[in-house]
Structures are given as C-alpha cells and as structure tokens.
Amino acid sequence: MKLKNRVLVITGGASGLGQATARYMVSEKGAKVALLDLNEAAGTATVEELGEENAIFCQTDVTSEESIDVAIAAIMDKFGAIHMNVNAAGIPLPCKILDREGKASSLAKYAMVINVNLMGVFNVMAKCAEQMAKNEPDQKGERGVIVNVSSGAAYEGQIGQSAYSGSKAGVNGMNIPAARELGPWVSV
C-alpha cells in the first residue's frame, strides 16, 4: 500500500515503538497519523512535532469500546478515512505466578496485561477494520492494512512474564484467523 496521504491509526502512538512509527510514517512516507494513547502530554507534544495537518491525538483506553468509538469518530471527522492500523500499545507489567512469600499473584494484575495487550488489539483492530472495509480498493485491491505488534516473549518469555508472554502469544494466535476473515477487505 502506498502511504502518502493515507491515514494510520497507531495505538501507543505517543511513546516508544508507536511514536517512532508515527514519526517515520509522517516524515518518510507522507502519511497522516492518529495517535491513540493515554498520555495526553506526550500525545499533544507529538502532534505539535508532526504538525496538526498530519496528526491527531486521541486520549484513548484501548480496553474500552466507548473510548475507541470516540477516537474513531474524531479520526473520521478530521481525515475522512482509515487506511492502516498499527497496534503497538502494550504494557510489560511484571506478573510472577508466585511472589517471594509463595503467594499467588493477583488475577487483576494478570487481567490488566491481557486486557491491554490482547483484548485491546482485538478491540482497535475490529473498529479500524470496520472503517477500512468501507474504503474503495486501490490499484492492488487493498482497502487497508493492519499490523499487530507482538514480541519474542510470545515464544521465549522470561521469569515474571507469564501475563506479557501469554498476551503476545495470543496476538500471534489471533493474526492468522484474523487475516483469513478480513482478507477480502483488509491485509493483516
């Protein structure tokens, strides 16, 4: 897909890999970016850096359908389409199964990692795919592209990474069925 003037939705877009992706896509590819992140100060600063004509920040909780719906509406209002989704938001919160005293880890801590790193990917992917399916196909028949960021920890997690590794393995396991399902509309 040619990215010049195309609209990319990037989760975790105000820091780390998401922010680096946004910078590259705007400066090297001429794309427009929507930064979905919780950090308002970093998101606003990144939009200032990239230029308001090229970027929008939406303070977004990827685990909330309502939050994603509000962000998608703002993106569609500003840019009129979504052509690519990069799901880079993630939390590497350590979560040992047993603590130093031999007590079981908090399920809430484990669930927070799974909710952001796996369910958040599904949530944003589904909402973006819905908009991409409405796009007219380009010369190659593409309407959109989705990139779900995983990690080597999906295969080789370290001590204390049960939640993080499990969430990233889940992303890997979701990608092929998603590609098969969305193939007629979107590349995953």
* Active site amino acids: 164
DSSP per-residue codes, 39-97: -HHHHHHHHHHH-TTTEEEEE--TT-HHHHHHHHHHHHHHHS---EEEE-------B-S
Torsion of CA 146, 118, 62, 21, to 10 degrees: -40
Which letter does DSSP use for residue 15 in this model? S
DSSP per-residue codes, 102-166: SPBPPHHHHHHHHIIIIIHHHHHHHHHHHHHTTSPP-TTS---EEEE---THHHHPPTTBHHHHH
Please classify residue 121 by burial: count the beta carbons closer than 10 Å to its beta carbon, then call 0-12 exposed, 13-18 middle and 19+ buried: buried
